[in-house]
Amino acid sequence: MNDDDYTDRLVSGGAESAEEQVIEAALRPKKLDDFVGQDRVREQLSLVLHSALRRGRTPDHVLLSGGPGLGKTTLAMIIAAELGQPLRISSGPAIERAGDLAAILSTLQEGEVLFLDEIHRMARPAEEMLYMAMEDFRVDVVVGKGPGATAIPLDIAPFTLVGATTRAGMLPGPLRDRFGFVAHMDFYAPAELEVIVRRSARLLDVEITDEGAAEVAGRSRGTPRIANRLLRRVRDYAEVRADGVVTEELAKAALRLYEVDERGLDRLDRAVLGALLRKFGGGPVGLSTLAVSVGEEPETVEVVAEPFLVRQGLLARTPRGRIATPAAWAHLGLTPPPTAPLAGTLFDLDEGADPQQ
């Protein structure tokens, strides 16, 4: 499963429809001043862009890291808009060969912005070509095969690369070092998400109370993309089963229907916690065993459910396996048995040895 899939599965049931994509694009802010949250990143990025504009130079390459749905693609679009340049969009998985990257780079115009999403998943030959392109604005195109192969140098127009990654640790050092500005995007505070929900409600022509906005924001897992999707589902509920006004009580009823609880846990999150508590007494249990117990792939549990559960303090990863914290028992309203592990005593252990069985 793609790292970004957990935001797609929440309240949408899978891939977005064309209409959903259009709506989501319309909700994106178009300027840095309109971008809510990430204050330090916005200020730093503003200095990088405006300094380059004053000097009449192409800005340094930009690397944006952080979880899915935090606004990396939106910031890439804003960077191009602030520079007054076109934005070329591609992704790491789409660039399978060095020739694919050379084809993109050779058509860039001077000053153009190239956005590579999931840059950590780029093929190694293309990655090595990108080193030279970022540093010297030149690539070597190999013509022919075997002893008769010839490398032809090809100059490319100065451009700004904006790379986005959900796993910065998977980027090779030589690639990371070629970015002049590296920013890590954090999860959003509830107050920031409330601002985003109210702004999106205005754009969608949805009447929402402050309490309703707070309820949606509080269940959005610190992620603007999820906040906007929950808002759209609550809007649907309000239009069909009420008078169209999103109040606190209506938001609670709608999100209860969509199986998103007060802490933002959805069906899969609660299934993982429930299996860990009811079937394995709170753990420790290996990832593969836990995944089988909920009918999912291990990668799905590890990438989709675990990060949020760990962030909420409901689950801990230890060398002996996954264990539930006391907060997990309390959240599901269960009483831990006397043999339940005390997660707090294991937090200082090395998590590098992560059992799969």
- Binding positions: 27-28, 69, 72-74, 135-137, 178, 188, 225, 317, 322
- Binding positions for DNA: 317, 322
Indicate if 270 belongs to the active site: no
Q: Kindly name the residue from 73, 160, 223, 325 that is annotated as catalytic.
A: 73
Measure the CA–CA gap between 194 and 68, rounded to whole angstroms: 19
DSSP state of 55: H
196, 208 in Cβ contact below 8 A? no
Indicate if 88 belongs to the active site: no
Q: Kindly name the residue from 58, 160, 165, 166 that is annotated as catalytic.
A: 166
Burial 167-194 (b: 16+ CB within 10 A, else e): ebeebeeebbebbebbbebebbeeebbb
Residue 287, CA atoms < 13 Å, CB-side half-sphere? 18
Indicate if 166 belongs to the active site: yes
Q: Kindly name the residue from 58, 72, 229, 247 that is annotated as catalytic.
A: 72
Contacts of residue 161, defined as CB under 8 A and 6 or more positions apart, other chains included, come to 61, 62, 113, 114, 116, 130, 134, 179
Give the distance from CA 113 to its chain's centroid: 21
Q: Kindly name the residue from 3, 60, 117, 269 that is annotated as catalytic.
A: 117
- Binding positions for ATP: 27-28, 69, 72-74, 135-137, 178, 188, 225
Give the distance from CA 220 to its chain's centroid: 13
Indicate if 252 belongs to the active site: no
CA–CA–CA angle 229, 265, 35 (5° rounding): 40
Indicate if 225 belongs to the active site: yes
273, 313 in Cβ contact below 8 A? no
Measure the CA–CA gap between 107 and 100, rounded to whole angstroms: 12
* Residue-by-residue DSSP string for 263-285: TS--HHHHHHHHIIIIITTT--B
Q: Kindly name the residue from 198, 219, 221, 225 that is annotated as catalytic.
A: 225
User: Which residues are catalytically annotated?
Assistant: 72-73, 117, 166, 225
